[in-house]
């Protein structure tokens, strides 16, 4: 391909993160055999040597003059989208478009997106975003920092994103944010420097290092870190702190334990003499290049959750809540050799995982056809009667999380079986993204219609009990009028009768949530009647009518994989990245969060009656949140606090010291247990509360198999802050590894790949296709 890259940022020298990212992408394009021309919009002054280096690096260099004095916000406090795209710039880029024929045009930054409109149809138009600029000024104001560089409104940024055929986000959180506002497809393209890991230079004391530019965000975080670190006490631990780059000016004068170094020749020169890199970054958006750079050089790194956002971090020391917590971890690193080895091992593992993911993300840039496949994505229809956009119950949260994961690989519409309120659409689009549609089948006002059943629908007895002719008819109309869905996803087996709808997409998928026959048996074992009754034989027979079945946890995946080889996919419930709060010295809050289900009601009542009296005198309170509180209104117990439904469950859990899940029947993965794990909350679970989890007992969570064990585990955790800390860190690592957002990627990619394979085979076999195409 002949590629033109338009950028206000030079590629040389690579002394800033954005320059490194652009240089790496252009180098990859050339490495794939493409011709790369670089149009440098001279918003930044560079020395003549840099100009010559760019001229040598790329197939052709275009220099476009730029006058920064024309930059002024036309929307009052913020910029309109094209305020940094003056007429002279438009004329220069239009001349480029007229002078040459390009296969691909890549524009750096949304404020230059107008350039995409100057190229003719047929040109593949990509926008590399680097950051979210919508309301950026408000985020900086909230941190008390000066507002620099470009910022705009959400509507203006969305208008710029819509100009592209394909939008590149630098990390997944930003991809999801863009998907909610643009109709252009968005993919993540991260950045990992191609450098050789360093061999550390020998030196006496342990050296903790920070390398950063002198921007205010770095200064804010570094000042808070150094204040909490108390660097003058480091020599007693055999360590010292070194600060390099423009950020040195925020470190103050040299003193015992702290050495500001100023500018360094290259990052490698600095990192070669460092044993640990810290990144206490607070606030801001985008990928933190200083984090990935240190990882690429093979250094162990400790930092905040913000510093590691988008990297798939699993360790608590890669997800500290703030700069002060990073300082505490750095001091622990200096004190504990075992912790130093743990940080080194996990940093190396994270670097390897992230490098593999970036290589996968770069692969489509090998050809125009592969990039086009990212644009012409398969379209899926999900059918459910659960209002997932509310995200207040476990099943709602599960569907919403799955949709957010799947929309990165395919376009998603949803058919909701029930009436919709006007406000539901906006909430649903926050989950579906702007490329999705929310459709509704309100059903018959008189209730479920058992007839007519189409002749082609060979229903099992279970399916006949749930068959609704009104919903069936609406689905068939949607399938017939859609232009063709590749994938149909049905939520829960009670909707399995809809698999018979025509015209059937090539891939029909059942998202199980639970193997319901096992759940029915579990209820019966405890003398409870489940609302849905089905035998294992009939359930497996129904599942056999789907091309793919989704399992939410390992045990059920193993069962289904054995019964239907090659047709079970593990798609666990996932949660976005979040900080891991450090353990407090005193355990003041034991928490339970749950909806008003019989399992939750019976479990928490048992706990309050049987276990809590032996715990209540130890100084902790029992805080219960969610609709399960309705069943506890008449309970009176020492230290019991009922919150009812909470607006922010994450904040409720952040204030907790220990979590409990004492349910003793129910089946399936417990969403509240996943939430405990992913927030690093040490927890005590019943066997049922831990159902679906394997490999973490004792290190990530504790299992109580009796009242006595529940009491003993809680007493130990309340009295031993170090045990709570270790268990919380283990919970976080276990939770992020199994239920972080990357855990859902494999299943979603498999579904998208299957859909594309069906599309390709259908195209090859279409009338008029060549014999060679059919054979292929």
Would 145 be classed as within a structural domain?
yes
Residue 320 has what DSSP assignment?
B
Greater confidence (40 vs 513) lies with: 40
pLDDT, position 762: 63
Shared domain for 167 and 227, answered yes or no, is no
pLDDT, position 769: 45
pLDDT digits (tens, 9 = 90+) for 734-767: 999 999 999 999 999 999 999 988 877 665 555 5
Would 141 be classed as within a structural domain?
yes
**Within a 13 Å sphere around the CA of 324, how many CA atoms are in the beta-carbon half?**
4
Both tokens of residue 450? 């058992």
Poorest-pLDDT segment among 73-77, 664-668, 771-775: 771-775
pLDDT, position 217: 85
pLDDT digits (tens, 9 = 90+) for 218-240: 899 999 999 999 999 999 999 99
Residue 122 binned pLDDT confidence (cut-offs 50, 70, 90) = very high
Give me the percent of the chain exceeding a pLDDT of 90. Answer: 77
Would 368 be classed as within a structural domain?
no
C-beta atoms surrounding 220 within 10 Å: 21
Shared domain for 753 and 709, answered yes or no, is no
Shared domain for 336 and 246, answered yes or no, is yes
Shared domain for 551 and 404, answered yes or no, is yes
pLDDT, position 284: 65
Shared domain for 121 and 39, answered yes or no, is yes
Would 580 be classed as within a structural domain?
no
Shared domain for 55 and 179, answered yes or no, is yes
pLDDT digits (tens, 9 = 90+) for 596-644: 888 999 999 999 999 999 999 999 999 999 999 999 988 889 999 999 9
CB 137 within 8 A of CB 156: no
Of the three residues 514, 541, 570, the one that is the final residue of a domain is 570
Of the three residues 362, 389, 407, the one that is the final residue of a domain is 362
pLDDT, position 55: 97
State the pTM of this model.
0.91
CATH number of the domain to which 349 belongs: 3.40.50.2000
Shared domain for 452 and 564, answered yes or no, is yes
Shared domain for 222 and 184, answered yes or no, is no
Residue 204 binned pLDDT confidence (cut-offs 50, 70, 90) = confident
DSSP H or E stretch at residue 355 = helix 337-362
Shared domain for 43 and 142, answered yes or no, is yes
Would 225 be classed as within a structural domain?
yes
Structural domains counted in the chain: 5
Of the three residues 126, 153, 188, the one that is the final residue of a domain is 188
What is the torsional sign of CA 220, 222, 224, 227? Answer: negative
Mean pLDDT of the region 642-664: 93
Q: Which residue has the tokens 């918003």?
A: 43
Mean pLDDT of the region 44-50: 94
Shared domain for 561 and 597, answered yes or no, is no
Residue 351 binned pLDDT confidence (cut-offs 50, 70, 90) = very high
Would 196 be classed as within a structural domain?
no
Shared domain for 102 and 183, answered yes or no, is yes
Shared domain for 714 and 768, answered yes or no, is no
Would 197 be classed as within a structural domain?
no
Would 198 be classed as within a structural domain?
no
pLDDT digits (tens, 9 = 90+) for 554-609: 889 999 999 999 999 999 999 998 899 888 899 999 999 988 888 999 999 999 99
Q: Residue 334: which domain range?
A: 206-362
pLDDT, position 141: 80
Q: Which residue has the tokens 């990859």?
A: 28
**Within a 13 Å sphere around the CA of 18, how many CA atoms are in the beta-carbon half?**
14
Mean pLDDT of the region 360-374: 95
pLDDT digits (tens, 9 = 90+) for 254-298: 999 999 998 888 889 999 999 999 999 987 666 788 899 999 999
Residue 773 binned pLDDT confidence (cut-offs 50, 70, 90) = very low
Reduce the DSSP state of residue 205 to 3 states and report it: coil
Give me the percent of the chain exceeding a pLDDT of 70. Answer: 97
Mean pLDDT of the region 682-686: 97
């Amino acid at each position: 391909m002949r590629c033109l890259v338009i950028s206000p940022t030079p590629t040389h020298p690579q002394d800033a993160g954005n320059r490194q990212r652009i240089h790496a992408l252009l180098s990859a394009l050339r490495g794939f055999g493409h011709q790369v021309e670089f149009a440098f919009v001279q918003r930044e002054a560079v020395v003549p040597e840099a100009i010559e280096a760019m001229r040598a690096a790329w197939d052709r260099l275009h220099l476009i003059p730029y006058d920064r004095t024309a930059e002024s916000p036309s929307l009052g406090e913020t910029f309109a989208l094209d305020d940094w795209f003056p007429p002279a710039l438009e004329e220069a880029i239009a001349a480029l478009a007229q002078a040459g024929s390009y296969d691909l045009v890549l524009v750096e930054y949304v404020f230059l997106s107008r350039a995409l409109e100057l190229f003719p149809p047929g040109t593949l138009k990509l926008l590399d975003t680097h950051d979210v600029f919508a309301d950026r000024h408000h985020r900086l104001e909230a941190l008390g920092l000066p507002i620099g560089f470009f910022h705009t409104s959400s509507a203006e940024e969305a208008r710029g994103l819509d100009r592209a055929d394909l939008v590149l986000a630098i990390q997944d959180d930003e991809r999801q944010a863009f998907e909610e506002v643009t109709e252009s497809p968005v993919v993540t393209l991260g950045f990992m420097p191609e450098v050789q890991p360093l061999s550390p230079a020998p030196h006496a004391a342990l050296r903790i290092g920070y390398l950063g530019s002198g921007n205010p965000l770095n200064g804010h975080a570094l000042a808070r870190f150094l204040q909490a670190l108390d660097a003058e006490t480091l020599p007693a631990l055999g360590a010292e702190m070194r600060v390099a780059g423009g950020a040195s000016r925020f470190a103050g004068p040299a003193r015992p334990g702290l050495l500001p170094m100023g500018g360094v020749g290259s990052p490698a020169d600095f990192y070669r003499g460092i044993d640990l890199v810290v990144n206490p970054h607070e606030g801001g958006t985008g990928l933190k290049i200083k984090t990935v750079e240190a990882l690429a050089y093979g250094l162990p790194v400790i930092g905040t959750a913000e510093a590691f956002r988008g990297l798939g971090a699993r360790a608590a020391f890669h997800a500290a809540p703030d700069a002060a917590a990073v300082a505490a971890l750095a001091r622990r690193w200096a004190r504990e050799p075992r912790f130093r080895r743990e940080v080194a091992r996990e940093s190396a593992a994270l670097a390897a995982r992230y490098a593999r993911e970036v290589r996968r993300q770069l692969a489509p840039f090998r050809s125009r056809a592969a990039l086009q496949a990212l644009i012409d994505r398969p379209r899926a229809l999900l059918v459910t009667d659960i209002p997932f956009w509310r995200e207040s119950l476990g099943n709602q949260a599960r569907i919403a999380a799955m949709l957010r994961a799947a929309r990165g690989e395919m376009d998603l519409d949803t058919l909701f079986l029930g009436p919709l309120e006007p406000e539901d659409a906006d909430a649903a689009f926050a989950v579906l993204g702007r490329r999705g549609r929310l459709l509704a089948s309100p059903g018959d006002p008189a209730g479920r219609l058992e007839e007519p059943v189409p002749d082609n629908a060979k229903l099992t007895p279970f399916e006949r009990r749930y068959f609704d002719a009104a919903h069936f008819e609406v689905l068939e109309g949607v399938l017939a009028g859609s232009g063709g869905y590749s994938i149909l996803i049905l939520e829960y087996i009670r909707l399995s009768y809809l698999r018979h709808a025509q015209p059937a997409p090539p891939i029909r998928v059942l998202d199980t949530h639970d193997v319901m026959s096992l759940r029915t048996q579990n209820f019966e074992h405890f003398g409870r009647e489940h609302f849905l009754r089905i035998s294992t034989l009939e359930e497996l027979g129904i599942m056999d009518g789907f091309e793919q079945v989704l399992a939410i946890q390992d045990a059920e995946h193993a069962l289904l994989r054995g019964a239907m080889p090659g047709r079970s996919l593990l798609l666990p419930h996932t949660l976005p990245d979040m900080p891991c709060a450090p353990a407090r010295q005193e355990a003041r809050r034991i928490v339970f969060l749950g909806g008003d289900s019989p399992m939750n009601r019976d479990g928490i009542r048992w706990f309050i009656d049987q276990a809590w009296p032996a715990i209540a005198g130890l100084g902790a309170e029992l805080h219960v949140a969610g609709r399960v509180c309705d069943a506890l209104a008449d309970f009176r117990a020492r230290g019991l606090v009922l919150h009812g439904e909470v607006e922010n469950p994450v904040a409720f859990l952040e204030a907790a010291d220990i979590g409990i899940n004492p349910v003793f029947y129910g089946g399936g993965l417990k969403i509240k247990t996943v939430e405990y794990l992913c927030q690093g909350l040490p927890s005590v679970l019943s066997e049922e509360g831990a159902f679906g989890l394997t490999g973490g007992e004792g290190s990530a969570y504790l299992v109580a198999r009796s009242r006595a064990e529940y009491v003993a585990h809680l007493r130990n955790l309340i009295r031993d802050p170090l045990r709570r800390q270790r268990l919380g860190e283990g919970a976080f690592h276990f939770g992020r590894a199994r239920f972080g957002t990357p855990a859902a990627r494999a299943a979603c990619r498999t579904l998208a790949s299957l859909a594309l394979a069906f599309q390709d085979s259908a195209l090859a076999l279409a009338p008029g296709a060549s014999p060679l195409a059919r054979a292929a």
